[in-house]
Amino acid sequence: MRTFEILLILANVSSLFLSFKMSSRRVWIGTAGVNLLLLLVHGLFEGFRYQLAFSYLFVALLAMYALIKISGRFIGKKLPRALKAAIIGLSVVGLAATSYLAHALPVFTLPKPTGSDAVGVRYMELVDERRDDPFLAPPSRKRRLMVKIYYPAQDDSSKRYVPYFNGSTELIQWLTAGYHLPEIAFDQLKLAKTHSKEDLPLSGKQPDYPVILFSHGAGTTMEAQTSQCEDLASNGYVVMAIDHTYLTAATVFPDRTATPVEITAQFQKDVSAQLSQIMADDQEFVLNQLGEMNDGGTDSIFKGKLNLNEIGSIGHSLGGSAAYSLAIRDSRVKAAIDLDGTVYDEPEEGAPMAPFLMLANDLNHVQMIQSGKGYLQKFEEMTDGQQQVILSDYGSKKAYEKDYERANRVSVRLAEILKASGSLYTIKGSDHMKFTDIGLFVGDRFLRKLIGIGGDLDPASNLKITEAVTLSFFDRHLKGETEESIDSLAVKYPELEKVELN
């Protein structure tokens, strides 16, 4: 909870207990005045939100009651004991509920970037004229993407920090719908503050900057990776956060908002592998645009400032599998990180691959990698209903088993790569969504579990460790810095654990 929220609730509770003794006009005026003042200051400096609705109602009723008491009509009169008890009881329940909601759905603070640079952001729309959008059938539009660019900047104190989610209530509502919650459940996100400012000049500390492509997980948004993107930018990286249209909760373009309900294409067989490939294609397209940016053709602020010899790729969940695929097939990628994403691709035998790191949750993903099992289930182990779906998609058991065998090869090959490089890590008490900002959206552990975010480690710590690992890996492979290795981070953060593979 924020400072004035806490003070407001404390004033509410104090007023409730003082009501047992209050009788003079001055006391009533003073108490109501303090509550009103805190309410106004809270709204002015922090912003109103529905989670504190009962607190606002309490202040309004207290002010009305104070006005009635000082009018003289009810001086000396007492409320019936039963009515007074009911009012106090309801007030206690209401204030307890509003306090819980304010805690459970907080206006959180994004972790402060660890670097010395200010962070600038710019939004850019890109259209791949060579590719039809694979989610629309028949083809009716070229593939269209939004990219959010984070970069090291020269600060300008006159500019305000951009609002979280760029202030888009519509995007917040679409993301909330994915958790089957009321559309106002995460309404407080629009009050959260970032550490970025729009249209700042590029920092001149370095002649040019390494570039990192960042992909979100399926059904989320590039905005949910803000903390990590800001941290990288503050440490001297230009980060291209990609919104993969139709694989997001929603993508906000300048002229419209695209949502998954518009998808008309049918995906069968190994759907996740196909979606991962689409995301990798998106990444490759954005990668191809970097040359034009560096030439000043797309965005002059970056002219001559992008180090195209030092490019990294990172993603969460399905975006992580896409980053892995891009590192396999594009030699321009010099380092790649997969944040808890199952992979669906494999490098050719003997083919070189960029340094790769996997950060997996310890709830089930590490165990899956250690087992050597593929991401597809064995046909004989499925229920009759599942088998019928597979036969409908694949046409035959033999066709499915071909993909099943390939999935096993992918898993074995991944384990070989991670074993050879010693780059499989986990965070004890982690969970899938805690590798993003989304873990911060809910302050109550029980409510987090209710919407599918588990793990014993608090989300802020999970995110802090994730960012430290990411920065250390890219610093080593894109900048040649070795001051703080990932193994040394394991001493600093006991929850970070290197996983050995047999």
Domain that holds residue 348: 118-432
Give the global pTM.
0.92
The answer to whether residue 497 is domain-embedded is no
**Which residue, among 287, 283, 277, 417, has the nearest Cα to 356 in the 3D structure?**
417
Separation of alpha carbons 365 and 435, rounded Å = 13
Q: Are residues 89 and 124 in the same domain?
A: no
Q: Are residues 123 and 73 in the same domain?
A: no
Separation of alpha carbons 195 and 109, rounded Å = 10
Cβ atoms of 141 and 133 closer than 8 Å = yes
Last residue of one domain, picked from the residues 432, 465, 495: 432
Q: Which two tokens stand for residue 358?
A: 């996997």
Separation of alpha carbons 151 and 294, rounded Å = 14
Report how far apart the first and last C-alpha atoms of the chain are (Å, whole number).
Answer: 46
Radius of gyration of the chain (CA): 27
Q: Are residues 123 and 97 in the same domain?
A: no
The answer to whether residue 474 is domain-embedded is no
Last residue of one domain, picked from the residues 104, 139, 174: 104
User: Could you list the pLDDT tens digit for every one of the 502 residues in the chain?
Assistant: 899 999 999 999 998 887 666 667 788 788 999 999 999 999 999 999 999 999 999 999 889 888 877 776 555 556 677 776 777 888 889 999 999 999 999 999 899 999 999 999 999 999 999 999 999 999 889 999 999 999 999 999 999 999 999 999 999 999 999 988 898 999 999 999 999 999 899 999 999 999 999 999 999 999 999 999 999 999 999 999 999 999 999 999 999 999 999 999 998 888 999 999 999 999 999 999 999 999 987 767 999 999 999 999 999 999 999 999 999 999 999 999 999 999 999 888 777 789 999 999 998 899 999 988 888 899 999 999 999 999 988 989 999 999 999 999 999 999 999 998 899 999 999 999 999 999 999 999 999 999 999 999 999 999 999 999 999 999 999 999 877 788 889 899 999 999 988 8
Q: Are residues 353 and 221 in the same domain?
A: yes
Count other Cβ atoms within 10 Å, centred on residue 494: 9
Q: Are residues 31 and 147 in the same domain?
A: no
Helices 459-478 & 226-234, crossing angle to 10 degrees?
40
The CATH number of the domain holding residue 425 is 3.40.50.1820
Dmax (CA) for the chain in angstroms is 92
Cβ atoms of 226 and 197 closer than 8 Å = no
Q: Are residues 80 and 166 in the same domain?
A: no
